[in-house]
C-alpha cells in the first residue's frame, strides 16, 4: 500500500531545510518548556560529578577515560526517556494528523525531531567540558583521546537518538516506546561483550554491530573510516525506518 | 470544480468504511457532510487531506491529485481534524507561528496574517496563554485559526462545533461563515440545524454510502410526501363525517384526511398532502364556499431531522 506522500525525498528535504528547522526549534523548545531538559541535564551532571568526586583524584589522574566509559551507560537510560515522546506523543494526542497533513515530507519531520533530541544530549554534555579544562590545567593531558571521546559520544548519542526515535514511531504508548528503545540500546551496548556466547564465525559481525566497539576505537583517539561508516549507516538506517514507520497510517 | 471525489473506497482490514463514494464540490460552496456515527465522514475527510490513502478511487483538489501531488493538495487545504488535536504545551502565538511556518509562510507574511487570524477568531485576550489552559470554545477557535492561517482555498472541518455549549456553537458557526466566505468548505456534523444554518449543500452519508445530495431545501422538497396540515373548523353540519370529511378529502391536493375529534362545535382534522403540494389555499376556499369557520390551519413541514432519520434508518445501521 502506498501512502500519498511518504516518498522518501531526500533531495527535496536537503534543498529546503526550513521545515526541518521549524520542527527542530519547536521540539527543542518543548524540551526546555517542560522539565525534561532540566532533568536530563541534572541527571548527567549528578552522575558525572558523583563519579568524579569519588574517583578522579584517587584513581585516575589526568585522563577522562573513565568518564567516557560511564557516559554511554547513562545514555542507555536517559536517551530512551528523551526520545520516547517524539512520535508516540503525537500519535496519542492526534496531533500527528495535523503534522502529517502539512505540506512537508515525512523525512523532514523525522529529521527535525532527531536533531532536536540529539542537540539536547549534546547540550547536556557541555558541562562536562569543565573537567576537561580543569584536568588540562592541572596536568598533562593527551588531547587526542579526549577529542575522540567527545566525538565518539556525539556519534553514539546520534545512533541512540535515532534508535529511540524509531522506537517512538512504533507505538502511541510512550512507556512502550521507552522500553523498546532501552532494550535496543542496551543490546547495542553489550553485543561486543558477549562474543563468547556467539558462534565463532559470527564474531566479527556481532562485534561490528555493537556500538561500544566502535566507540572505544574512536575514544582511543583513532579515527578510522570503518567506525565512521558504522555510525553513519546505523544512524541513516534508523532514520529511514522511522520515516517508513511514520508513513504507515492505518489509523 | 474545487474538489472532485471519485469512487472512493476504504477498507480498515476487512471492514469497509466507505463504499464507492463520488461527489464534486464547487468553488466557494459550503458543503455539509451529514451522517450518523460510523457513517464514514471522518474517513472521507482523512483521505481528502492526504492523511491516509484510499483503498481505491482518488480525489482531485484544485486540480491536484492526492496521489501524485500530495504536497500541493496539502498546501491548498486547511484542516481541522476530529476532536481538534492541539499541542497543549504551546501558547497560541507559538502554535500559530509553527503552523504558518509548516505551511511554508515566510517571516514577512506571518506576523500580519497572525494578527488577522487572532482578531478574526477573537483570540487576542488569550494569545499568550498555553493552549492547555484554554476552554474548549477557545481551543476550537485556535483549531480554526490554525486551519486558516495560510489562507487556504479549501477548508475541511471535521465536526467543528462538537462538544461546545449552545452559545459557543453559534459563535463558531458565525466564524465559519465569516471566514469561509470565498472558500470552499466541507464540514461534517451530526447537528441538522447546523447544516441548515451554515451550508449551501448537504450530502447525507450512511454506512459508507451517499444517500442524499442537494441543498437543504431540495432535500426537504424531495421528502415532502409526509407533510401534514392540521385544520380546525367550526361547522353547523350535524354529521361531520358525511358532510365535511368527504369535501376535504376530494380536494385535488389532498392525499388523505384523518378526523381527530371535536371540541364543542369545533372539529379537528389532520390533512396529509399530496407529494410536493400545499393545499392550504384549496382548504381555505373550500371552507369559505361551504360556510365553515376556519379556526386554525397550520402546516407541519418536514424537518431535515425527519429526512435524515428516514434516510439513515431505512437499511439497518451498523451495530
Ligand atoms: N482506525 C480505524 N480502524 C478500524 N476501523 C475504523 C477506523 N476508523 C474508523 N473505522 C471504521 O470506519 C467506519 C467509518 O468511521 P468514520 O470515523 O469515518 O465515521 P464518522 O462518520 O466520522 O463517524 P462519527 O460521526 O462517529 O465521527 C466505522 O465503522 C468505524 O468503525
Ligand atoms: Mg467522525
Percentage of the residues of chain B whose pLDDT score is greater than 70: 94
Query: Contacts of residue A104 in chain B, CB cutoff 8 Å?
Result: 71, 102
Domain boundaries along the sequence of chain B: 3-222, 228-301
Beta carbon of B161 within 6 Å of any ligand 1 atom = no
The reported pLDDT for the residue numbered A183 is: 96
Fold observed for domain B228-301: Alpha-Beta Plaits (3.30.70)
Chain B closest-CA separation from residue A235 CA (Å): 25
Residue range A165-178: average pLDDT?
96
* Residues with Cβ–ion distance below 5 A, ligand 2: B 41-42, 82
Residue range A66-82: average pLDDT?
90
Q: What does DSSP say about strands B56-61 and B64-65: parallel, antiparallel, or unpaired? A: antiparallel
Q: Within 10 Å of residue A25's Cβ, how many Cβ atoms? A: 17
Q: What does DSSP say about strands B184-189 and B30-34: parallel, antiparallel, or unpaired? A: parallel
The reported pLDDT for the residue numbered A243 is: 93
The pLDDT mean for chain B works out to: 87
Q: Place B1 in a pLDDT band, splitting at 50, 70 and 90.
A: confident
Q: Given a cut of 50, is residue A6 above it in pLDDT?
A: no
The pLDDT mean for chain A works out to: 85
Query: Contacts of residue A29 in chain B, CB cutoff 8 Å?
Result: 94
Q: Please say whether the beta carbons of B302 and B275 come within 8 A.
A: no
Residue range A172-188: average pLDDT?
95
Q: Given a cut of 60, is residue B299 above it in pLDDT?
A: yes
The reported pLDDT for the residue numbered A249 is: 62
**Lowest mean per-residue pLDDT among A9-18, B30-39, B55-64, B198-207:** A9-18
Residue range B212-221: average pLDDT?
83
Residue B26, classed as helix, strand or coil, is coil
The reported pLDDT for the residue numbered A11 is: 61
Fold observed for domain B3-222: Rossmann fold (3.40.50)
Q: Walk across the sheet containing B3-12 and list its strands.
A: B15-25, B3-12, B56-61, B64-65
Centre of ligand 1 to C-alpha A100, Å, is 19
Q: Which of A184, A47, A28, A178 is nearest to A118 (CA)?
A: A28
Centre of ligand 1 to C-alpha B208, Å, is 9
The reported pLDDT for the residue numbered A223 is: 84
CA angle B156, B95, A22 (to 5 degrees): 100
Residue range A153-167: average pLDDT?
96
| Residue of B40, B161, B190 best suited for mutating to test ligand 1, as the one with most atoms within 8 Å of CB | B40
Beta carbon of B12 within 6 Å of any ligand 1 atom = yes
What are the Cα distances from residue A175, in Å, to A80, A82, B68? 9, 11, 37
The reported pLDDT for the residue numbered A57 is: 55
Q: Place A199 in a pLDDT band, splitting at 50, 70 and 90.
A: confident
Q: What is the atom index within ligand 1 of the atom nearest the CA of B15?
A: 5
Query: Contacts of residue A94 in chain B, CB cutoff 8 Å?
Result: 81, 83, 85
Q: How far apart are CA A23 and CA A203, in angstroms?
A: 41
Q: Place A5 in a pLDDT band, splitting at 50, 70 and 90.
A: very low
The reported pLDDT for the residue numbered B230 is: 87
Q: What is the atom index within ligand 1 of the atom nearest the CA of B159?
A: 27
Among B79, B83, B104, beta carbon nearest to A101: B79
CB contact under 8 A, A4 and B89: no
Query: Contacts of residue B89 in chain A, CB cutoff 8 Å?
Result: 30, 33-34
C-alpha cell at B158: 471535521
Which chain B residue lies closest to A93 (C-alpha atoms)?
Answer: B85
CB contact under 8 A, B87 and A100: no
Q: Place A89 in a pLDDT band, splitting at 50, 70 and 90.
A: very high
Q: Given a cut of 50, is residue B133 above it in pLDDT?
A: yes
The reported pLDDT for the residue numbered A191 is: 85
Among A30-44, B164-178, B222-236, name the most confident range. A30-44
Could you tell me which residue, A111 or B261, shows the higher pLDDT?
A: A111
The reported pLDDT for the residue numbered B316 is: 45
* Burial classification of residue B78, based on how many CB atoms lie within 10 Å of its CB (0-12 exposed, 13-18 middle, 19 or more buried): buried
Name which of A96, A100, A103, A105 to mutate to probe chain B: the one with the most chain B Cβ atoms within 10 A of its Cβ. Answer: A103
Q: Where are the alpha helices (DSSP H) in chain B?
A: 41-48, 70-76, 92-102, 107-120, 136-148, 166-179, 192-198, 216-222, 240-243, 245-249, 280-290, 304-313
Centre of ligand 2 to C-alpha B204, Å, is 13
Locus of grid cell 472558500: B183
Could you tell me which residue, A176 or A196, shows the higher pLDDT?
A: A176
Among A4, A18, A95, beta carbon nearest to B67: A4
Beta carbon of B43 within 6 Å of any ligand 1 atom = yes
Tell whether B182 lies on the interface with A, counting CB pairs under 8 A: no
Residue range A182-186: average pLDDT?
95
The reported pLDDT for the residue numbered B174 is: 87
Q: Given a cut of 50, is residue A2 above it in pLDDT?
A: no
CA atoms within 13 A on the CB side of B75: 12
Beta carbon of B42 within 6 Å of any ligand 1 atom = yes
The reported pLDDT for the residue numbered B225 is: 55
**Lowest mean per-residue pLDDT among A87-96, A104-113, B62-71, B246-255:** B246-255
Could you tell me which residue, B58 or A195, shows the higher pLDDT?
A: B58
- How many A×B Cβ pairs under 8 Å? 80
> For residue B158, what are the β-bridge partners?
B188
| Residue of B9, B13, B16, B17 best suited for mutating to test ligand 1, as the one with most atoms within 8 Å of CB | B17
Chain A closest-CA separation from residue B9 CA (Å): 14
Percentage of the residues of chain B whose pLDDT score is greater than 90: 49
Q: Given a cut of 80, is residue B302 above it in pLDDT?
A: no
> What number is the ipTM of this complex?
0.86
The reported pLDDT for the residue numbered B226 is: 59
CB contact under 8 A, B99 and A18: no
Q: Place A121 in a pLDDT band, splitting at 50, 70 and 90.
A: very high
Q: Given a cut of 60, is residue B318 above it in pLDDT?
A: no
Q: Which ligand is nearest to the CA of B12?
A: 1
Q: Given a cut of 50, is residue A184 above it in pLDDT?
A: yes
Tell whether B103 lies on the interface with A, counting CB pairs under 8 A: yes
The reported pLDDT for the residue numbered B317 is: 41
Among B50, B83, B102, beta carbon nearest to A94: B83
Q: How far apart are CA B267 and CA B230, in angstroms?
A: 11
**Lowest mean per-residue pLDDT among A181-185, A241-245, B188-192:** B188-192
Residue range B153-176: average pLDDT?
87
Among A131-145, B83-97, B185-199, name the most confident range. B83-97
Name which of B17, B45, B51, B151 to mutate to probe chain A: the one with the most chain A Cβ atoms within 10 A of its Cβ. Answer: B51
The reported pLDDT for the residue numbered A14 is: 59
Amino acid at each position: 500500500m502506498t501512502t500519498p506522500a511518504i516518498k522518501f525525498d531526500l533531495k527535496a528535504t536537503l534543498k529546503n531545510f526550513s521545515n526541518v528547522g521549524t520542527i527542530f526549534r519547536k521540539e527543542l523548545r518543548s524540551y526546555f518548556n517542560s522539565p525534561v531538559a532540566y532533568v536530563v541535564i541534572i541527571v548527567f551532571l549528578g552522575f558525572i560529578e558523583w563519579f568524579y568526586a569519588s574517583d578522579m583524584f584517587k584513581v585516575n589522574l589526568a585522563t577522562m577515560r573513565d568518564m567516557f566509559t560511564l557516559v554511554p551507560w547513562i545514555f542507555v537510560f536517559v536517551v530512551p526517556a528523551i526520545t520516547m515522546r517524539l512520535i508516540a506523543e503525537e500519535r496519542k494526542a492526534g496531533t500527528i494528523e495535523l503534522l502529517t497533513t502539512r505540506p512537508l515530507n515525512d523525512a523532514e519531520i523525522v529529521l527535525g525531531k532527531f536533531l532536536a533530541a540529539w542537540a539536547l544530549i549534546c547540550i547536556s554534555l557541555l558541562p562536562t567540558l569543565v573537567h576537561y579544562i580543569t584536568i588540562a590545567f592541572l596536568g598533562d593531558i593527551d588531547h587526542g583521546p579526549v577529542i575522540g571521546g567527545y566525538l565518539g559520544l556525539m556519534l553514539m548519542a546520534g545512533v541512540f537518538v535515532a534508535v529511540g526515535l524509531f522506537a517512538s514511531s512504533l507505538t502511541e504508548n510512550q512507556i512502550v516506546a521507552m522500553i523498546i528503545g532501552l532494550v535496543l540500546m542496551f543490546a547495542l551496548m553489550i553485543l561486543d561483550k558477549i562474543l563468547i556466547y556467539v558462534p565463532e564465525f559470527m564474531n566479527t559481525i556481532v562485534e561490528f554491530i555493537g556500538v561500544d566497539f566502535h566507540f572505544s576505537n574512536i575514544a582511543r583517539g583513532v579515527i578510522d573510516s570503518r567506525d565512521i561508516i558504522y555510525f553513519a549507516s546505523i544512524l541513516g538506517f534508523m532514520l529511514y525506518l522511522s520515516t517508513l514507520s511514520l508513513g504507515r497510517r492505518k489509523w | 470544480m474545487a474538489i472532485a471525489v471519485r469512487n472512493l473506497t476504504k477498507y480498515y482490514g476487512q471492514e469497509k468504511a466507505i463504499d464507492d463514494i463520488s461527489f464534486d464540490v464547487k468553488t466557494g460552496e459550503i458543503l455539509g457532510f451529514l451522517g450518523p456515527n460510523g457513517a464514514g465522514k471522518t474517513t472521507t475527510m482523512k483521505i481528502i487531506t492526504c492523511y491516509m490513502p484510499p483503498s481505491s478511487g482518488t480525489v482531485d483538489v484544485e486540480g491536484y491529485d492526492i496521489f501524485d501531488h500530495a504536497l500541493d493538495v496539502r498546501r491548498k487545504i486547511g484542516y481541522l481534524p476530529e476532536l481538534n488535536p492541539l499541542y497543549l504545551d504551546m501558547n497560541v502565538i507559538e502554535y500559530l507561528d509553527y503552523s504558518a511556518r509548516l505551511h511554508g509562510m515566510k517571516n514577512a507574511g506571518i506576523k500580519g496574517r497572525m494578527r488577522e487570524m487572532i482578531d478574526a477568531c477573537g483570540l487576542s485576550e488569550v494569545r499568550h496563554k498555553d493552549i492547555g489552559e484554554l476552554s474548549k470554545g477557545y481551543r476550537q477557535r485556535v483549531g480554526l485559526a490554525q486551519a486558516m492561517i495560510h489562507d487556504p482555498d479549501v477548508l475541511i472541518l471535521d465536526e467543528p462545533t462538537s462538544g461546545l455549549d449552545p452559545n459557543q456553537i453559534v459563535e463558531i458557526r458565525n466564524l465559519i461563515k465569516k471566514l469561509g466566505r470565498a472558500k470552499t468548505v466541507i464540514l461534517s456534523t451530526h447537528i441538522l440545524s447546523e447544516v441548515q444554518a451554515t451550508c449551501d449543500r448537504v450530502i447525507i452519508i450512511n454506512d459508507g454510502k451517499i444517500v442524499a445530495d442537494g441543498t437543504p431545501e431540495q432535500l426537504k422538497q424531495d421528502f415532502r410526501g409526509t407533510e401534514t396540515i392540521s385544520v380546525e373548523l367550526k361547522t353547523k353540519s350535524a354529521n361531520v363525517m358525511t358532510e365535511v370529511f368527504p369535501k376535504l378529502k376530494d380536494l385535488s391536493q389532498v392525499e388523505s384526511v384523518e378526523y381527530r375529534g371535536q371540541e364543542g362545535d369545533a372539529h379537528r382534522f389532520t390533512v396529509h398532502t399530496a407529494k410536493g403540494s400545499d393545499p392550504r389555499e384549496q382548504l381555505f376556499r373550500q371552507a369559505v364556499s361551504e360556510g365553515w369557520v376556519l379556526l386554525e390551519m397550520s402546516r407541519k413541514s418536514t424537518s431535515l431531522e425527519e429526512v435524515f432519520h428516514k434516510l439513515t434508518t431505512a437499511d439497518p445501521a451498523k451495530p
